Structure 1
Amino acid sequence: MKKLKALDSKGKGVVCISGKLKSYCTKATAKKVLEMKGYLVKSSLTKDVTILVNESGFNSAKTQAAHKKGLTIITNLKELI
């Protein structure tokens, strides 16, 4: 767990993925790519999250919460990477 915290403090940000992805077959694949690029990936929208990925366009509860918190919302994951 200490390794993840170090990644969080020196990495590019903390990402949460909401809904289905268009750019990757699975969220697990996207998570691996994001982690290799220096991002920490969380499954839920915690206070640590700085970026929400929502490629589906669906206005989910996570998306609404991210808007309220003023988080960056990405609609194309490959643009982030």
Structure 2
Amino acid sequence: MTIFNISLSDSMQTFVDEQAKQKGYNTAIEYIHYLIRQEQEREEQKRLETMLLGGLDSGEPIEISEQWWDSKREGFRQLLSQIK
């Protein structure tokens, strides 16, 4: 684990302490960890959305039907039979 020291103005420290207390955290550090995790999750969500949009724009659309699924299942069965 890395130790990361930051300096806060008195008003910012008061704000962080109050927020931690209001949100039920035992320490300001727990609250700051929570904020960082939230930001990590937001970034991951943006990354996922970008990938999904890229997938939607990656080619001609296909209609997913029961026949399409049957074809995929059969292809998978054939692939498995080659492995055995």
What band does the TM-score fall into relative to the shorter chain? under 0.3
TM-score (norm 1): 0.25
Query: If each structure's helix is expressed as a fraction of its own residues, which one has the higher value?
Result: 2
Q: Hey, which of these two has a bigger chunk of strand by percent?
A: 1
Instruction: Give me the TM-score of the superposition, normalised by structure 2.
Output: 0.25
Higher relative contact order (CA 8 A, sep 6+): 1
Tell which structure's C-alpha radius of gyration is larger.
2
